[in-house]
A and B are shown apart, each in its own frame.
Chain A
Amino acid sequence: MKLILSDRHLKKKQEFTSFADQELDNGAEFPRRNLRKAAERGLMGLPIPVEHGGRGEDFLTYILLLEEVSRVCASTGVIIAVHTSVGTFPLLYYGSKTQKEKYLPGLAGGTLLGAFALTETGAGSDASALSTKAETREEGYILNGSKMFITSGGEADLYTLFATVDRSAGRRGITAFLVENNFQGLSAGPPELKMGLKRSSTTELRLDNMPVPSANLLGKEGEGFNIAMSLLDGGRIGIAAQGLGLARASIEYTRLVLKKRDTGKPGTARDAACLLAELETRLEAARLLTYRAAVMKGNGLRCSAEASMAKIFATDLAVGAAVKCMDICGIAHCSAEGKLARYFCDAKATQIYEGTNQIQRIVVAREMLK
């Protein structure tokens, strides 16, 4: 066992810390500028092999990036997470040589933004219930239907999109497609008004007789559900890292407030400090769970339960820490425009997407009850 970061990982982490602190902004608009800055450093393709235009770093390094970025701007964090974990990896794992040559360098280099379109109005946690149809034509497919809550919808250049070629076949009819944003018949709805992650665009995607050439079928017909499921572990660890970054942001903010505070009543300060100690303890636990899942994933080991545990623990902490930090810091630090409110609102999403924490508990329990 070696339960601390290696010097190499520590160095990468420091690189990401200063990148996040010095280069990322906290504006209100879609964070194009942040993404461009990330692309300039190769961070949009961090874990993608060098031969495909990425930086060839391991999975843990990628997780460290998501943690650091999310600490400063969780919207940028989720965009990079979705772009990489479910926008680029499926192409890397399942794409043909031609598909990889066409899209991977752009995605890894950050000139193309990737996204993932699985969820529908009637297919949330039960993703296999999706109803978007893909009908076979001589030259490819015609897709009809609509997708919901698509991160980077309307902003992304390439979507890994799921539709069914045979609804009666259930999950075995689900098929994955590489859909370019300029495909005819594809349109994005207006961005959802969300309580948090306000800079990330979340939209509906409408597919109206949208033709997709055969060349853009990802994997084989009917393999879509397995493709989607195979991405989940990695995706969940990414969201755990996002939760970790957000929890750290709340705790660090509060630590600085306490350091400056002089109540004149030492007892009060000590009580507050003990609340912070509790959070810091859970943060360390969240970190260990997340890094462990990341190392396992990087080593190609099965890690469904570990990934789910990391996501549950880190994202529950992200929400819990924000709330507790408001208690500790007091009303003066609770304005709607303040940082703690932003951390709280951003954190709530991490308990929901990439599988709600209730779904994660089902995964963990299933493993335990085997």
Chain B
Amino acid sequence: MNFQLNEEQEMTRQMVRDFAEKELRPGAEERDDQEKFSRDIFNKMGELGLTGIPFPEEYGGGGCDFISYVIAVEEISRVDASSGTTLSAHTSLAGWPLYKYGSEEQKKKYLEPICLGEKLGAFALTEATAGTDAAAQRTTAVADGDHYVLNGNKIFITNGGEAEICLVFAVTDKEKKAKGISAFIVDGNTPGMSAGKKERKMGLRSSPTVELVFENCRVPKENLLGKEGEGFKIAMSTLDGGRNGIAAQAVGIAQGAMEEAVNYAKSREQFGQPIANFQAVSFMLADMGTKIEAARLLTYQAAYLESNGLPYGKASAMAKLFAAEAAMEITTNAVQIFGGYGYTRDYPVERYMRDAKITQIYEGTSEVQRLVISRHLLG
């Protein structure tokens, strides 16, 4: 075993950390306040080569492994979790299925601009009545000549309304249930697809989460991803890897909150000494540090397995479950260490706490992760 980052991974960490400190930290609070998505930030990530890290260079990707990718998500989320989710959804949920299931033509046409950061990606699976039970899709796709005609509504779509490339799941054969779902690549400007309600959220407020409405939206047949009926399989395998991106996001959020708490505990004086001197505080910090290390190792392990062609479904579910739960606890305790100040919006820890919550929910709730893991354990 070897627990040290290699040179490429170390360089990725350094580069992304510099980027996050320089480009993300100054405006993070304001963007959160104003619930403002910054396309400029995404474009800069593209210029730096962060938008296609784990994909081959022939498609414009970075040609790096998944550890480098999760490190990038972690470092960005350490400063600005909203930007972390933009990158994670773009890479794991839009880029990856195109890379894994796309035809050569589809990869050239869609994966390449995603990798280069010229186009932003999104993943549209969830519906009002199809959340955890994703197979209960109601959006339909009916073949009509050279096209499929899509009708229905998708909700909670990260990057929705901003993305130029959307992967959309719809029912092509209702009889076949999960095996009757298909995946489509939909250009952002396709007539009949429009952005509906933009959600007002407690966290990740500068990442847009919107409804996507499909009204007789005609998608060319060559934009079917994989085969008809493979949609559910594509969605589930995409989420297996996507979970690891969320795990990385949770690790980054927790790390950011912990660093704030450590600095505060060292400088805040009560009873004539820094509060870090009190074990009630320092033990909380020690538990934060221990859990973050555990979460990080689980996350990197899942990324390692994926990079080496080994099964990673159980590992990424474990990483996401543990990291998300740890992030919620750690950010809550960070607010606790700040006391009353932590509850105000003058300090960033309340933002970290708000941002952490979603990691327990999206790309499969913690409860779903436990179910996934238990199936691996008990068959």
Question: A: which residues have CB within 8 A of B?
Answer: 1-6, 9, 60, 255, 258-259, 270, 273-278, 280-282, 284-286, 288-289, 291-292, 295-296, 305-306, 309, 312-313, 358, 360-362, 364-365, 367-369
Which residues on the A side are within 8 Å of B294 (C-beta)?
Answer: 282, 285-286, 288-289, 309, 313
Chain A residues lying within 8 Å of B279, measured Cβ to Cβ, are 358, 361-362
Binds A, one of B31-39, B101-109, B129-137, B295-303: B295-303
* Contact yes or no, A274 B287, CB < 8 A: no
- 12 additional A-B pairs beyond A4-B1, A60-B1, A361-B286, beta carbons within 8 Å, are A1-B6, A1-B67, A273-B374, A282-B322, A285-B294, A289-B293, A291-B1, A292-B297, A295-B1, A312-B286, A358-B283, A361-B287
Give the residue among A1, A282, A312 with the most B Cβ atoms within 10 A.
A1
The answer to whether B289 and A369 have CB atoms under 8 Å apart is no
Determine the chain B residues whose CB is within 8 A of the CB of A313 once the complex forms. Answer: 290-291, 294
Q: Chain B residues with Cβ under 8 A from A280's Cβ? A: 318, 373, 377
Q: Is the interface of B mostly helix, strand, loop or mixed?
A: helix
Interface, chain B (partner A; CB < 8 A): 1-6, 9, 67, 262, 265-266, 276, 279, 282-283, 285-287, 289-291, 293-295, 297-298, 300-301, 304-305, 310, 315, 318, 321-322, 367, 369-375, 377-378
Report yes or no: B1 in contact with A2, Cβ–Cβ below 8 A: yes
Query: Are B370 and A364 in touch, CB under 8 angstroms?
Result: no
Residues of A within 8 A of B283 (CB): 358, 361, 365
| Residues of A contacting B301 in the complex (Cβ-Cβ under 8 angstroms) | 3-4, 284, 288
> Within 8 Å CB of B318, what residues of A?
280-281, 284-285
Q: Which residues of B contact A281 (CB under 8 A)?
A: 298, 318, 321-322, 373
Partner among B285, B291, B371 whose Cβ is within 8 Å of the Cβ of A365 = B285
* Distance in angstroms between the alpha carbons of A130 and B124 in the assembled complex: 67
Residues B370 and A3 in contact, CB atoms below 8 Å apart: no
Closest A residue to B294 using CB positions: A285
Instruction: Looking at the assembled complex, report how far the CB atom of A265 sits from the nearest CB atom of chain B, in whole angstroms.
Output: 16
Name the residue of chain B whose CB is nearest to the CB of A259: B378
Taking a contact as CB atoms under 8 Å apart, the answer to whether B378 and A288 are in contact is: no
**A272 nearest CB neighbor, chain B only:** B374
Shortest CB-to-CB span from A364 to chain B, Å, is: 4
Contacts of A259 in B (CB 8 A): 378
Interface of A is mostly: helix
With known contacts A273-B378, A277-B374, A285-B294, A369–B6 Cβ distance under 8 A? no
Asked if residues B373 and A5 are in contact (CB atoms below 8 Å), the reply is: no
- A225 to B375 alpha-carbon distance, docked (Å): 50
* B1–A364 touching, CB < 8 Å: no
| From A5, A284, A296, A362, residue with most partner B Cβ within 10 Å | A284
A313 to B286, CA, bound (A): 11
Contact status B289-A288, CB under 8 Å: no
Q: Chain A: which residue is nearest B293 at the CB level?
A: A309
Are A369 and B285 in contact, CB atoms less than 8 angstroms apart?
yes
Give Cα distance in the complex from A167 to B305, angstroms.
55
Cβ distance B6 to chain A, nearest Cβ, rounded Å: 7
| Residue from B6, B289, B291, B371 in contact with A277 in the complex, judged by beta carbons closer than 8 Å | B371
- Can you show 12 pairs from A to B with CB atoms below 8 A apart? A3-B305, A4-B304, A4-B305, A259-B378, A273-B371, A273-B374, A281-B321, A289-B290, A305-B289, A312-B287, A365-B289, A368-B286
Q: In the complex the two chains form, what is the Cα distance from A305 to B290 in whole Å?
A: 9
